[in-house]
């Protein structure tokens, strides 16, 4: 015995109206493809995409928004915040301390703020105020931004070299530092 082949459903033959609909759909798709290709050629001749009436990613940004976007994309939030602290130093520490002590640099990896003082007395005073100052800075910048304040004393005068120096002497640099 041979198995009868399963009967497949016959596709109905298309009549004139159905053939016309299929032809119309195919023609619309071809026209859409030709139109898209023509649009791309036109944009290439004009020098690329142009911005339209609605806002999109190609529109220019205000300077502040562009800078904020750059800071966020590069992960520069902490250094930018610390830079702001250096600009607002007198408001954070007070005018008298700011007159004698000035922030020099911030090490992001170690979270150390280096401050230079103009006298050893002010360097000592700032070392005593360092815990309160770290707390105030972290309150302003975010917890853990500054762990240590490294206080530097005054730099000595420029070293002069000459014949009248004792061997091994650092000159006036012996008293500074």
Taking the domains of the chain in order of start, what are their residue ranges? 99-156
- 17 three-class SS: helix
Q: Are 134 and 149 in contact (CB under 8 A)?
A: yes
The rounded mean pLDDT for the chain is 78
Question: The whole model's pTM is what?
Answer: 0.51
| Cα–Cα dist 56/160, whole Å | 63
Helix (H) or strand (E) holding 114: strand 112-117
Higher pLDDT, 174 or 58: 58
Express each pLDDT in 117-149 by its tens digit.
Answer: 998 999 999 999 999 988 988 888 778 888 899
Q: Which two tokens stand for residue 158?
A: 């420029």
Task: Map tokens 């006036």 to a residue.
Answer: 172
Contact 113, 92 (CB under 8 A): no
Lowest-pLDDT range, 41-45, 71-75, 132-136, 163-167? 163-167
Query: Which pLDDT belongs to residue 165?
Result: 65
Predicted local distance difference test score (pLDDT) of residue 177: 47
Residue ranges of the alpha helices (H) in 3-144?
A: 16-46, 63-74, 77-87, 89-93, 95-100, 120-141
């Amino acid at each position: 015995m041979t198995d009868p082949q399963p009967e497949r459903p016959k596709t109905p033959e298309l009549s004139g109206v159905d053939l016309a609909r299929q032809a119309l759909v195919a023609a619309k798709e071809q026209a859409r493809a030709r139109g898209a290709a023509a649009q791309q050629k036109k944009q290439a001749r004009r020098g690329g995409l142009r911005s339209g009436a609605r806002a999109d990613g190609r529109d220019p940004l205000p300077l502040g928004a562009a800078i904020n976007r750059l800071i966020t994309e590069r992960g520069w939030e902490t250094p930018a915040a610390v830079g702001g602290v250096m600009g607002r130093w007198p408001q954070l520490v007070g005018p008298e301390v700011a007159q004698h002590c000035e922030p020099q640099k911030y090490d992001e990896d170690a979270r150390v703020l280096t401050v230079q003082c103009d006298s050893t007395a002010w360097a000592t005073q700032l070392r005593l105020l360092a815990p309160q100052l770290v707390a105030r800075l972290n309150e302003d910048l975010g917890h853990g931004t500054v762990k240590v304040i490294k206080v530097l004393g005054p730099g000595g005068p420029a070293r002069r070299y000459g014949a009248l120096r004792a061997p091994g002497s650092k000159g006036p640099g012996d008293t500074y530092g």
